[in-house]
């Protein structure tokens, strides 16, 4: 199995240049603002030139295990992908640690999320296996929707579902330390 790496950038332009040079999936914040938190763009690639990518990714660099929990119906091999994605950066609950938090996220949270986020078109977990540099993050949840409007207004099917998700997330994640959601659009670049 080929290793996958995720590189976080504070500038979309630099991230796009890296995606054009090295290929992969580029997730860019849909908003233009002077400061992007926790990142402006995330590039996921399996390009082997780790040294070059580490030199340009100014926020962080991680080796990840990609878990597709709900597959996308439509996918363009190259270019802009349909819909919008909410990326939730995960910091593990310190009482559990990385491995137990990751297991809960994968095995317990996923079925709950799929039963509550009814408008979600696809869902992928990027579990951090190694941090090369940057903040101590344990994973990235990629929650896909048909549109930004659906992501913002139809994320939860019910208020009760929103409460259940919040309770469960607090079991495996440090909700105070985990960065806020970034709404992105995905573009695929040829390797």
What pLDDT, in 10s, does the model give residues 37-50? 899 999 999 998 99
Looking at residue 3, its pLDDT comes to 81
How many alpha carbons fall within 13 Å on the CB side of residue 160?
1
pLDDT at position 34 over 90? no
pLDDT band at 140 (very low <50, low <70, confident <90, very high): very high
Q: Are 188 and 22 in contact (CB under 8 A)?
A: no
> Cα angle at 179 between 177 and 180, to 5 degrees?
130
pLDDT at position 191 over 80? no
Residue of higher predicted confidence among 127 and 35: 127
pLDDT band at 2 (very low <50, low <70, confident <90, very high): low
Q: Three-state SS for 38?
A: coil
Of residues 53, 150, 67, the one with CA closest to residue 106:
67
pLDDT band at 133 (very low <50, low <70, confident <90, very high): very high
What pLDDT, in 10s, does the model give residues 3-27? 899 999 999 999 999 999 999 999 9
Looking at residue 164, its pLDDT comes to 97
What pLDDT, in 10s, does the model give residues 65-122? 999 999 998 888 888 998 999 999 999 999 999 999 999 999 999 999 999 999 999 9
Q: Alpha carbon of 129 to those of 36, 46, 54, 64, 109: distances in Å?
A: 24, 14, 16, 5, 19
Query: pTM of the predicted model, to two decimals?
Result: 0.95
Of residues 3, 89, 96, 107, the one with CA closest to residue 50:
3
% of the chain surpassing 70 pLDDT: 99
pLDDT at position 1 over 70? no
Looking at residue 107, its pLDDT comes to 98
Looking at residue 73, its pLDDT comes to 86
**Mean pLDDT, the chain, integer:** 95
Q: In this structure, is the dihedral angle defined by the CA atoms of residues 181, 186, 189 and 191, taken in order, positive or negative? A: positive
Question: Does 3.30.70.100 match the CATH number of domain 4-189?
Answer: yes
């Amino acid at each position: 199995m080929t290793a996958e790496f995720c590189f976080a950038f504070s500038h979309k332009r630099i991230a796009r240049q890296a995606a054009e040079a090295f290929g992969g999936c580029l997730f860019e914040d849909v908003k233009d603002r002077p400061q992007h938190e926790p990142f402006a763009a995330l590039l996921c690639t399996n390009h082997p030139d780790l040294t070059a990518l580490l030199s340009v990714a100014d926020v962080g660099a991680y080796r990840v295990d990609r878990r597709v929990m709900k597959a996308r119906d439509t996918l363009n091999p190259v270019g802009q992908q349909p819909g919008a994605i909410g990326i939730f950066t995960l910091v593990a609950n310190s009482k559990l640690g990385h491995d137990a938090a990751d297991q809960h996220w994968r095995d317990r949270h996923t079925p709950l999320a799929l039963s509550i986020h009814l408008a979600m078109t696809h869902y992928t977990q990027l579990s951090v296996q190694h941090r090369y540099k940057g903040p101590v993050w344990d994973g990235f949840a990629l929650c896909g929707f048909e549109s930004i409007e659906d992501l913002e207004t139809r994320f939860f099917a019910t208020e009760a579902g929103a409460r259940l998700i919040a309770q469960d997330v607090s079991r495996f994640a440090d909700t105070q330390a985990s960065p806020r959601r970034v709404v992105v659009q995905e573009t695929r670049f040829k390797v």
